[in-house]
Chain A
Amino acid sequence: MMQEQVNWDEVDIGDELPEISLDITTRRLFLQASGAQDWYPAHFDPAFARKAGHEDIFMNTGFVQAALVRLITDWMGDGGFLKRLAFEMRRQHRPGDTMVCHGKVTAKKETDGAALVFLDVWAENQREGIATPGEATVILPRAPASEG
């Protein structure tokens, strides 16, 4: 399946990115350990996590980042370039949660020949609401008729 290509000219401020939803199941925890190769026990050992003062184990930075990256790259298509992604791990995504990632276009401008789109992105769950707020900058191709 080829990713559909979005052009800078077609994007409007206020556009929303198609959301993605991930259930944090036991299977997902194993996928996290395999996919992120993060062996810090707070992400898979409940006793360790609780001793450290957390209520339970929680998903790691690599996992949350991968979800936000998927949100953005699914939307921007193969011709887009993720220039910047920043996010805060303010609250946790834990087993039993459904993590839903969202994004919204906040601004667009051209600088030094680059057609930039600015996004608010975030991951939320049913316990905490917005647990991971963030922002991103993407370079998109111009529509063919707009290229000089």
Chain B
Amino acid sequence: MAYDIEEVRRKYIGFETAKTHGRYPVEHDPIRRHCHMVDDNNPLFIDPDHEGGALCPPSGWLAHYFASLGPWPAVFEPLFPIVPTPGKRIVNMSQEVEWSAHIKVGDHLSVVRRIADVFQKGITIDPEAVWIVAEAIITNQRDEEVCVVRNTLLTHRTPEEVAAANANA
């Protein structure tokens, strides 16, 4: 059946997930690992004895991790596996994070995900690539909004999948 972008847009734009809660609280060691991948030795983030308490660095990625991506077993979790797309390969093309409050070690984060836009725009290797603009609204245990993460995701087919689809057309 042919992919119908207008049907997908009608069905999914504005869709919002139920709030999900991170399994673990914001913890020191995932913060340390996150900081050390870029040689970030800021005591505000990695010193458990920092005066006033350690903070989570203002990374939307890490906030999202604590709100939803932390549980084991490790599974790559596309932000919106529910949106049907011709291709299953994903590239995150841009991200915007707006912060309202610090995240502290010990906080419990939750997330609501919302689909802001879905559109089709071809790329060199896939003329039917589909782009998804996804928002994640992250809150703490007091239900205070700490940040909103906005991702623009490109989903596409492999060159082999494109060739196979063209051969069958």
Chain A residues at the B interface, C-beta cutoff of 8 Å: 1-3, 20, 22, 28, 31-32, 34-40, 42, 51-53, 60-63, 65-67, 69-70, 73-74, 78, 81-90
Contact = CB atoms under 8 A, between A and B. Distances in A.
B31 to A, nearest CB: 9
Contact of A66 (B59, B91, B96, B160): B59
B96 A85 contact: yes
Contact of B44 (A3, A40, A87, A88): A3
Given A53-B156, A66-B59, A89 B38 contact: no
B44 A36 contact: no
A28 B99 contact: no
B59 A65 contact: yes
B80 interface: no
Nearest to A86: B96
A141 to B, nearest CB: 15
B133 to A, nearest CB: 13
Given A51-B158, A52-B158, A35 B35 contact: yes
Contacts of A66: 34-35, 37-38, 40, 57, 59, 61-62
B166 interface: no
B69 interface: yes
Contacts of B98: 83-84
Interface in B12-26: none
Most buried by A among B37, B45, B75: B37
Contacts of B90: 40
A15 B42 CA distance: 22
A82 B99 contact: yes
B39 A69 contact: no
Given A70-B38, A81-B99, A89 B61 contact: no
A32 to B, nearest CB: 5
Interface in B68-97: 69-70, 74-76, 89-97
Contact of A65 (B69, B75, B95): B95
A35 B36 contact: yes
B58 interface: yes
A81 B58 CA distance: 9
A69 B57 contact: yes
A145 B115 CA distance: 46
A100 B151 CA distance: 23
A85 B58 contact: yes
A70 B58 CA distance: 9
Given A53-B126, A85-B97, A86-B94, 15 more contacts: A22-B38, A35-B34, A37-B69, A52-B158, A53-B159, A61-B61, A62-B34, A63-B37, A66-B34, A66-B35, A69-B57, A70-B42, A74-B42, A83-B99, A85-B96
A51 B42 contact: no
B119 interface: no
A23 B125 CA distance: 29
Contacts of A35: 33-38
